[in-house]
Amino acid sequence: MARARGTDGSLLASLPWTLLALAFALLPHVPYLPAWITAALLACAIWRYSIEVRRKPVPPALLRASLALACFLGVLYTYSTISGVGPGSALLAIMAALKLLETRQRRDQFVLLFIAIFLVMSSLLREQYLWSLPYLVVGVILIMTAWLRTAADDLEPLRRSLGTSSRLILYAAPLALAMWIFFPRIATPFWAVPIDTGTAVSGLSDTISPGDISALSKSDAVAFRVKFDGVVPDPRDRYWRGLVLHRFDGRTWSGISEPRISSGALKNIQTAGEAVQYEVTLEPTRQHWIFALDIPYHWDLESTFLGPQHQLARVQPIDQRIAYKAVSYPDYRIDLELHPYRRGWYLEFPESRNPRTAELASSMRAAATSDEAFVRAVLKKFNEEEYHYTLEPPPLGSHPVDRFLFETRRGFCEHYASAFAVMMRAAGIPARIVVGYQGGELNPVGDYMIVRQADAHAWTEVWLPGSGWRRVDPTAAVAPERVDAGRTGAMFDGTAAAWGLGAPSRLLHNLVLTWDAANAKWNEWVLGYGPENQERFMNWLGMDDPDWRQMILTLVALVTGLTMLISLALMLRYRPPSRDKAAILYDRFVRKSGLKPATGETPRGFAVRAQRDSPLPADSVRSITDTYLDVRYGPPDPALLRRLEVDIAAL
Amino acid sequence: MHSGSPLEKTPLGKNAGRQALERACAALGGIILDKDRQIALALACLLARGHLLIEDLPGLGKTTLAQALAKVLGLSYRRIQFTSDLLPADIVGVSVFRRDSGKFEFQPGPIFAQLILADEVNRATPKAQSALLEAMEEHQVSVDGDTRTLPVPFFVVATQNPADQIGTFPLPESQLDRFLMRLALGYPNAENERELITGEDRRSMLESVTPEMTPEILTTLQQDAAKMHMSEHLVDYIQALVRQTRESPDIEIGLSPRGAQALAAAARAHAFVERHSGVFPDDVQAVFTAVAGHRLKPAGNTSFRSPAEMCQHVLDSVAIP
């Protein structure tokens, strides 16, 4: 290997741009990357820059190789795999950092910028928000600018680099649009991106343990959006059914972890009154549960079934945003008959736990005339006695229900639902907990409803002879406003507190709603442009039921046509380049001669020397010098410039 | 005066002027041996409408060059030998009282010619010198309150012996500035000197020289030379050179804006003589010593032995854009 030479500082002008482009490309990955990789990236960038400033040699090959191996093992150790979006982008990031350390020439910088383009694109595998597109455009412009500044022989003004890269993006935009519209979409993509399952998406958990410290999401993240076709149900009817929990071990409620099909479930529903029709756009949850208003009756989602406890679930987990239409009946009766075996499920109650609750339930049931009267009595107890609704309840011990009911008396929906269900079971009434969302905020901007993670809710269902499963929401008894008014008030307080504002801000809230409406449109029109929308659009264009071959042909024809059109426009706009090009070409000639012109040496003087001392043919030196002088100092003549280019290339 | 010349009958096309210039160049080269650079510079100086100062030891062909120029270019020619008793009136002329008409009548001096050879200009007193220099500047003379215009074109070729000879009045810097160029001829090489000794006498050769162009052609050529293409890069170069003369610690007084103008005009004319497509850096470098050498004042502690060396140093320290 050649001895390591010091860097000559020639990259000083373009290196900051390369670093900036890399940083911009990496920024969307940083929240997902392990901290050590971010730290390594920063360290490598600073290291490389200081090397350039101090004209030091880059680190030796052995050190670089061992660093690469160590980082590779580090990624393997952190993720225990190297495939998937997470480890993939981590590897890409770390390779970019290490490539910096062996960047000695322009060519290496180009490799870095290639990596940057790949990185900025790969962030789309994780999330495709509304702002992803502008970010992507800015990122690519930045990378192209870095590219131009690296490639420019003489440093051109920044404005021109930025202008050139923006123009390139502009030329590419029609092609991108054509490809986006016409590239055949198929329902099941033939490439599968391994989704990063390591990072949790906020959603409902499969179990609830009210004894544990509050894990309730206060997140304003959108769970799903709903567009109603007709009447919007009252806030008190907005119960979005998710999963049902029926197993209780004295502390934790759990349900069926895998979705099950129950052929009889639909038969056991009796409906009355008006149906509610709506379309839900569900954000990915990585779970199987499909949310629908109590109680769903029709839905148009494939491989989705109603389980034995009337919970909707899809066989494949929801890894991508999906939209489905559903019809629900707010007025319903389910399971008028309860199989004795099932009945056992809903009465399960560990005797050793929560003895005081069992005792209280027994005495209250004895005092009540009927099951209905007992239910009312318990709700009345919650309503009239000192029970408080709070999102930050104190932790509970080993008899969580006892402690909650008799001591702390503070909690949120899970606590009340759990306590209520336990009391019902203790009194011999079948009961279960339903987890889902309650409420939702109507967005006037887009005329749809937003249901957020903070709307997550738990309520109970009790089975009473003659009326089947009846929904009872004990939280409503404690904090009626939580259910009646929706969560708008509560959210106001949360948002204002999070922003450090004392008073709720209407303006801010309106901004939030507008932004959400824009996001919804983005999801609907851009991200939602799948096979069906594409087919609809093609039909609208007059292509009846095109197969993918036709579409590819259309795409190729369109892209070719657009390219020719853009090229034609560029050709018509073409102006002969400024004669600075001549200087660039002449520099190339000087480099080929292997000699260095002295300060103040004229091209003619240099030519005399080059004819004598350089291996270049004397005739070419003479004619190139003459042409160069004419191009650079004579009147403008594009033909001469081309001749100079050809002559120098021929050397 | 050249009414019999066939030149007047040929149309003054571009090529005619160009060919006349080539022939003039060749004719001058036949008389002044081995001085092609100086001939090109002298022609460039005249094409740039500038005056020429030739400074060298006696006997190196200064006078011959001036006479040859006048002859070849077809200009009316007068010679003024500058001596210490020369009076301004001896240059510009006097008004003489005519008895028969009872009026004063102006007798034009030798200045009223197209090409003046001011021989040994530093032998005359400053008073006489300034009469000449004012005529050069104004292209007109004032005698007894009347302003009289000098002929067009009007060139002064002055010769000067180096100042260390006895009995001279060296021209002050401000007046040296009036000359576009200062040339030194130098000794001929051995072969050419031999030819000078054995060959035909230069004076008799001059007798047989025929004019190669007319003043009209010369005026056209001057106009063409002034239109020579000068690119932005070359303007940058001239500016850089001028800045270097002002900023160099070896030079006390750098080039004035008029000096920069002179440099540009001379470079244009030189490029024209050399038939370049535009003004090349080589043109600037070729005229730089001649144009700047007599305008720069070296600093007191400088180590340069000659103005030429100082100018070369400036050229060597400015990059060509």
Report how far residue B95's alpha carbon sits from residue B89's, in angstroms, rounded to the nearest whole number: 9
In tens, the pLDDT along B204-254 reads: 788 888 888 888 888 889 999 998 999 888 999 999 999 999 988 888 888
Count of all residues that appear for chain B in the document: 321
Quick one: what percent of chain A has pLDDT higher than 90? 9
Least confident of A90-94, A293-297, A391-395, A564-568: A391-395
**pLDDT of A428:** 87
- The phi and psi torsions of A296 (rounded to 5 degrees) equal -70, 140
Q: Residue B55 has which token pair? A: 């400074």
Q: What are phi and psi of A251, to 5 degrees?
A: -140, -45
Report residue B2's pLDDT band, with 50, 70 and 90 as the boundaries.
very low
pLDDT of residue A211: 56
Range of lowest pLDDT (A80-84, A554-558, A609-613, B178-182): A80-84
> Residue A405's pLDDT is what?
86
Nearest to A635 among B278, B281, B319 (CB): B278
Looking at residue A139, its pLDDT comes to 93
What residues pair up with B96 in beta bridges, in sequence order? Answer: B105
Q: Is the pLDDT of residue A216 over 60?
A: no
Domain B13-226: give its CATH architecture. Answer: 3-Layer(aba) Sandwich (3.40)
Instruction: Give me the torsion for CA of A23, A25, A28, A30, rounded to 10°.
Output: -40
- The predicted pLDDT at position A413 comes to 83
Sign of CA dihedral A534, A539, A544, A545: positive
Contact in structure between A334 and A297 (CB atoms under 8 Å): no
Q: What is the mean pLDDT of residues A103-124?
A: 87
What is the predicted pLDDT for the residue at B8?
Answer: 39
pLDDT in tens, B12-42: 456 778 888 888 888 888 888 778 888 899 9
| Per-residue model confidence (pLDDT) at position B238 | 94
Q: Which of residues 568-627 of A touch B (CB under 8 A)?
A: 579, 598-605
Does A242 score more than 70 pLDDT? yes
pLDDT at B266 over 50: yes
Strand stretches in A95-249, DSSP E: 207-208, 222-228, 239-248
Strands A304-306 and A312-314: antiparallel
Q: What percent of chain A has pLDDT over 70?
A: 88
Query: A357: which strand partners?
Result: none
Which candidate in B236, B282, B311, B313 is best for mutational testing of the A interface (most A CBs within 10 A)? B282
Mean pLDDT score, A132-155: 84
DSSP string, A206-250: SEE-TTSPP-------EEEEEEESSPPPPGGG-EEEEEEEEEE-S
Backbone region of residue A473 per phi and psi (left: phi > 0; alpha: psi in -120 to 50; beta: other values): beta
Show residues of chain B in contact with A600, CB under 8 Å: 285, 315-320
Residue A26 CB contacts under 8 Å (≥ 6 apart), including other chains:
A41, A93, A96, A119
Label residues A164-173 b or e (16+ Cβ within 10 Å = b): bbbeebeeee
Cβ of B282 within 8 Å of Cβ of A604? The answer is yes
Residue tagged 């996001």 (tokens): A519
Nearest CA in chain B to A597: B319
Q: Quick check: B280 and A602 CB within 8 A?
A: yes
Which residues are bridge partners to A411 per DSSP?
A389
Residue A399 has pLDDT above 90, yes or no: no
Quote the strand ranges of B47-172, DSSP E: 51-55, 77-81, 93-98, 103-108, 115-119, 140-143, 146-149, 155-160
DSSP strand E in B11-120: where?
51-55, 77-81, 93-98, 103-108, 115-119
What's the sign of the alpha-carbon dihedral A437, A442, A448, A450? negative
- Mutation target for B interface from A581, A602, A626, A628: give the one with most B CBs within 10 A: A602
pLDDT of residue A144: 92
pLDDT tens-place string over residues A586-636: 888 888 888 888 888 888 889 999 888 888 888 888 999 999 998 888 888
Q: What pLDDT digit, counting tens, does each position of A218-239 carry?
A: 667 788 999 898 888 888 888 9
Residues of A31-68 as b/e, b for ≥16 C-beta within 10 angstroms?
Answer: ebbeeebbebbeebbebbbebbeeeeebbeeeeeeebb
pLDDT of B10: 41
The contacts of residue A492 (CB under 8 Å, 6+ apart) are A504, A509
ipTM confidence: 0.84
* CA pseudo-torsion sign A70, A76, A78, A84: positive
Over residues B76-103, the pLDDT tens digits come to 888 899 888 888 888 888 888 888 888 8
pLDDT value, residue A188: 53
Across the interface, of A602, A630, A632, the residue whose CB is closest to B233 is: A632
Question: What is d(CA A207, CA A243) in angstroms, rounded to the nearest whole number?
Answer: 10
CA atoms within 13 A on the CB side of A522: 14
Euclidean distance between CA atoms A357 and A362, whole angstroms:
9
Can you give the pLDDT at residue A548? 76
Mean pLDDT for B287-296 is 91
Tell whether the model's pLDDT for residue A500 goes beyond 50.
no
Q: Give the count of alpha carbons within 13 A of A637, CB side only.
A: 16
Output the pLDDT for position B7. Answer: 39
In whole angstroms, give the CA distance from residue A546 to residue A526.
21
Per-residue confidence at A493, pLDDT binned at 50, 70, 90?
Answer: very low
The two tokens of residue A598 are 């002295």
Which residues of A are known to be catalytic? 413, 457, 473
Q: How far apart are CA B263 and CA B180, in angstroms?
A: 8
Residues B230 and B278 sit within 8 Å (Cβ to Cβ)? yes
**B279 and chain A in contact, CB less than 8 A:** yes
Any idea which architecture B228-321 has in CATH? Orthogonal Bundle (1.10)
Q: What average pLDDT score do residues A65-77 get? A: 90
Q: Residues 220..259 of B with a Cβ closer than 8 Å to A: which? A: 229, 231, 233-234
Cα dihedral A93, A98, A102, A105 in deg (nearest 10): 10
User: Rounded distance, CA B83 to CA B124, Å?
Assistant: 5
Q: Which of A1-15, A257-271, A636-650, B218-232 has the highest mean pLDDT?
A: B218-232
Q: Which residue has the higher pLDDT, A201 or A264?
A: A264
Distance of residue A63 Cα from the nearest chain B Cα, in angstroms:
43
| Residue B229 to residue A633, Cβ atoms within 8 A | yes
pLDDT of res. B9: 38
**B26 to chain A nearest CA, in Å?**
24
Give ranges for CATH 1.10.8.80 in chain B. Answer: 228-321
* A–B CB contacts, 8 A cutoff, strictly below: 54
Where does the pLDDT of residue A213 fall: very low under 50, low under 70, confident under 90, or very high at 90 and above? very low
| Nearest-angstrom CA–CA distance, A587 and A591 | 6
**A156-194 residue pLDDT tens:** 678 888 888 998 899 889 898 888 888 877 665 544 454
Q: Which of A21-25, A42-46, A482-486, B227-231 has the lowest mean pLDDT?
A: A482-486
Distance CA A225, CA A589 (A): 65
Q: Which amino acid is at A623?
A: S
Q: So what's the pLDDT on residue A577? A: 55
Q: How far is A583 from chain B (nearest CA, A)?
A: 9
Model confidence at A199: pLDDT above 70: no
Which pairs with CB-CB distance under 8 Å and at least 24 residues apart come from A520-527? A520/A225, A520/A281, A520/A443, A520/A446, A520/A448, A521/A446, A522/A129, A522/A130, A523/A225, A523/A281, A523/A321, A524/A281, A524/A323, A526/A133, A527/A128, A527/A321
Say how many C-beta atoms besides its own lie within 10 A of residue A485's C-beta. 13
Nearest to A635 among B229, B315, B317 (CB): B229
Q: What average pLDDT does the segment A305-319 reach?
A: 83
pLDDT in tens, A501-529: 444 567 787 888 888 888 888 877 787 77
Q: How far apart are CA A315 and CA A295, in angstroms?
A: 20
Q: Quick check: B317 and A600 CB within 8 A? A: yes
Structure tokens at A557: 């024809």
CB A645 within 8 Å of CB A637: no
Cite the residue boundaries of each domain of chain B with CATH code 3.40.50.300: 13-226
Rounded to whole angstroms, the Cα distance separating A323 from B60 reads 103
Q: Residue A141 — very low, low, confident or very high, per pLDDT cuts 50/70/90?
A: very high
Tokens of A31: 């929240």
pTM for this predicted structure: 0.50
> Distance (Å, rounded) from C-alpha B307 to C-alpha B295?
9
- Higher pLDDT, residue A187 or B314: B314
**Spans of all domains in chain A:** 15-182, 207-495, 581-649
- Whether the pLDDT of residue A200 is over 50: the answer is no
